[in-house]
Structure 1
Amino acid sequence: MFSQQTGPIGIFDSGYGGLTVFDKIRQAMPEYDYIYLGDNARAPYGQRSFEVVYRFTRQAVLKLFEEGCQLVILACNTASAKALRSIQQLDLPEWDAERRVLGVIRPTVEIMDRISTTKHIGILGTSGTISSQSYSLEIGKMFPHIKVTGEACPMWAPLVENNEFDSPGADYFVKKHLDHILSVDPRIDTLVLGCTHYPLLIGKIKQYLPAGITVLPQGEYVAESLIDYLNRHPEMNRRLTHGGECRFLTTESAAKFSDAASVFLNDPIEVEQISID
């Protein structure tokens, strides 16, 4: 279906949050080429249905494949929870059986047992990620002795998207959800930031947590997992181009994306506006 046999790594998110994952991957693997695609025009995905998230994510992956990407990372917990498995099982065999799509949930789950002492873990995520129970199911398969408590934080991603993550209004929503999840399970010693937007709230999150609780952003663990994946799959590594170049695509205003991206990345970037629907 696609003519290109080599190309960049694609990174997809519903908005800007995936830049926190992209930044860690690029720091760990600067020699590779990347295309980042944010579906900002239709963000956030958190409260959308499975069917809509699958359709939107499918369109985005197809666009990245058309741009030459051989491997796509769904740097979006909602897309990983609601669309990854369907794309892997239904679409890849039809599109190109040699290309791959990976998510961010499994790499995060793999480190749980070595991080948590009490084996009580909290997941902070969008409504979609929490209702899908993807973390609970994945942790249950890998570490059945770990107790998982999920907390939907529907306002957190919009606060970040609207550059309000450092505002006084953010304090209310951050404290509210942290207080609630710790009241449900006071033995939690590890909190997973199960949305790529949430690392920008990490200052406020730590401010309202008692001592002794570890907060886990995902970026560095996804980067470590990707390096391991490519070491185990040299055939995919050979398909990836190594020019150290990055392209940024958005379905919204390029200027708006560029301004917002400066919050996530230290370097100014050039952005292209595209359509994927």
Structure 2
Amino acid sequence: MEEQSNYKSRETNPIGIFDSGYGGLTVLSEIKTLMPEYDYIYLGDNARAPYGSRSFERVYQFTLEAVKWFFRQGCHLVILACNTASAKALRTIQQVDLPQLDPSRRVLGVIRPTAESVSTLSESGHIGILGTEGTIRSGSYELEIKKLYPDVTVTGESCPMWVPLVENREYDKPGADYFVQQHLGRILEKDPLIDTIILGCTHYPLLTEKITRYLPENVKIISQGKYVAESLKNYLQRHPEMDRNCTKNGNMYYFTTDSAERFGQQASIFLNEQVAALQTNLE
């Protein structure tokens, strides 16, 4: 099945949404809800997921390949709806690669918009970050938050079992309680003054019910999708030249580097609807 014949035309310039797998669909869902008029194309690099435990060099290589793929599809704006890619690859792509590839195009991440939300939610100035091993080890959230709010205390906790729980549809089962309680206990033990926790992985919103159950009532949870969507809308309002480059026909396209059939099945976990995807290669 030719991917060009299924969606691509000269008049289609969708906003690209990238993730190593399925988690970015939670961000896409919020973006589509806020801005349904735009065209979107989602790519999951499922054949090489997860990115969380991979090296900086490998994540950068994979993410750059994806960005080039989006540009070939006509995207002028690409959102890295993947915390690991945002943490390990975004800055280099923005500063080194974009000026050579096409200075008029933009690649944005999910960490900065999430970090900006901290000031309105935290009263104690103590923030917790729950994420993959790669995101926590990178220190990207702490760096962004400290740039904006130097006096805030940031504490991270990697939760390596949480993504498998979601993708194996165990996130709402009793077996997930142990792993959720374990990591929440650890992060609050590190800093008992935490009153705001950022879900620094796009899979984690599906665990919100269990996370809420094991957190003190005063601790707020920041789920990224809403803040990324609002930030994107604001960005397009401030950059009308980019907004004009994004077509608005309300279309949605899904691609995966792995099995299209499996992608469609798994995507329903995150979107509560059936989707049809196409398989693609990034070369």
TM (norm. structure 2) is 0.95
Cα deviation, residue 168, structure 1: 2.3
Match of 2:89 among 83, 95, 111: 83
Distance 2:263 2:49 in 1: 12
**Equivalent residue for 1:142?**
148
In structure 2, the gaps of 5 or more residues are 1-9
The Cα offsets for residues 245-274 of structure 1, whole Å up to 9 and x where unpaired, read as 000000111111101111111332110011
In structure 1, the gaps of 5 or more residues are none
Cα deviation, residue 6, structure 1: 6.5
Contact 2:59–2:88 under 8 Å retained in 1? yes
Count of aligned pairs: 275
**Equivalent residue for 2:66?**
60
Deviation beyond 2 Å, 4+ runs, structure 1? none
For residue 242 of structure 1, give the secondary structure of its aligned residue in structure 2.
coil
Distance 1:94 1:5 in 2: 25
**Equivalent residue for 2:184?**
178
After alignment, is 162-171 or 200-209 more displaced?
162-171
**Equivalent residue for 1:126?**
132
Cα deviation, residue 167, structure 1: 2.3
Letter in 1 for 2:37: E
Contact 2:11–2:247 under 8 Å retained in 1? no
Distance 2:97 2:253 in 1: 25
Over the aligned positions, Cα root-mean-square deviation in angstroms equals 1.3
Distance 1:269 1:6 in 2: 20
Distance 1:163 1:65 in 2: 33
Q: What fraction of aligned residue pairs are identical, expressed as a percent?
A: 63
**Equivalent residue for 1:189?**
195
TM (norm. structure 1) is 0.97
**Equivalent residue for 1:107?**
113
Letter in 1 for 2:89: A
Distance 1:259 1:120 in 2: 39
Q: Structure 1 residue 15 and structure 2 residue 21: aligned?
A: yes
**Equivalent residue for 1:254?**
260
After alignment, is 156-165 or 194-203 more displaced?
156-165
Contact 2:129–2:198 under 8 Å retained in 1? yes
Cα deviation, residue 61, structure 1: 1.0
